[in-house]
């Protein structure tokens, strides 16, 4: 019998600092030194002004549910035990959006614009940012 493991991200040159931050319990995002905009997903140049002068900063970890869906069928065999689960687009207070899960709540109580905060969860040898309702 094949044992399925949950899919996990593959850190690369652009995202390694983000994943290293998660393993330390920090939600790191980029900020452009030139136009001062926050950036997520990690990249080499600012999508707003094309500057390559980017720094990593620690985000507050607070935000709102921008959009979400309740997965009632597993997207992967390893997720069968998690059904139903929420896949959400979270808008951080810094203005960037990232996709994650909302956990530790009844899936039926989640709504757009609800306040959330980041928590970190170990999964398959990585630490992933997930969110809880505030």
Q: Is the pLDDT of residue 128 over 90?
A: yes
Q: What is the mean pLDDT of residues 89-109?
A: 97
Domains of the chain, earliest start first = 16-133 (2.40.50.840)
Q: What is the mean pLDDT of residues 93-115?
A: 97
| pLDDT grade for 109, boundaries at 50, 70 and 90 | very high
pTM: 0.91
| pLDDT grade for 98, boundaries at 50, 70 and 90 | very high
Q: Is the pLDDT of residue 1 over 60?
A: no
Six token digits for residue 40: 């997520």
**C-alpha distance from residue 36 to each of 33, 57, 106 (Å):** 5, 12, 37
56 has which bridge partners?
30
Identify whether the C-beta of residue 51 lies closer than 8 Å to the C-beta of residue 35: yes
The per-residue pLDDT for 3 is: 53
Nearest to 25 by CA among 51, 75, 61: 61
Q: Is the pLDDT of residue 125 over 50?
A: yes
Identify whether the C-beta of residue 9 lies closer than 8 Å to the C-beta of residue 35: no
Mean pLDDT of the chain: 94
- At 12-65, the pLDDT tens digits run 999 999 999 999 999 999 999 999 999 999 999 999 999 999 999 999 999 999
């Amino acid at each position: 019998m094949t044992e399925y493991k949950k899919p996990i991200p593959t850190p690369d040159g652009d995202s390694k600092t983000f994943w290293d931050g998660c393993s330390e319990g920090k939600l790191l995002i980029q900020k452009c030194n030139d136009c001062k905009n926050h950036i997520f997903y990690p990249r080499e140049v600012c999508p707003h002004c094309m500057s390559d002068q980017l720094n990593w900063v620690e985000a507050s970890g607070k935000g709102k549910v921008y959009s979400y869906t309740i997965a009632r069928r597993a997207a992967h065999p390893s997720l069968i035990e998690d059904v139903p689960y929420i896949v959400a687009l979270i808008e951080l207070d810094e203005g960037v959006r990232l996709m994650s899960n909302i956990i530790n709540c009844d899936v039926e109580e989640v709504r757009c614009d609800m306040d959330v905060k980041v928590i970190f969860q170990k999964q398959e040898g990585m630490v992933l940012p997930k969110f809880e309702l505030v």
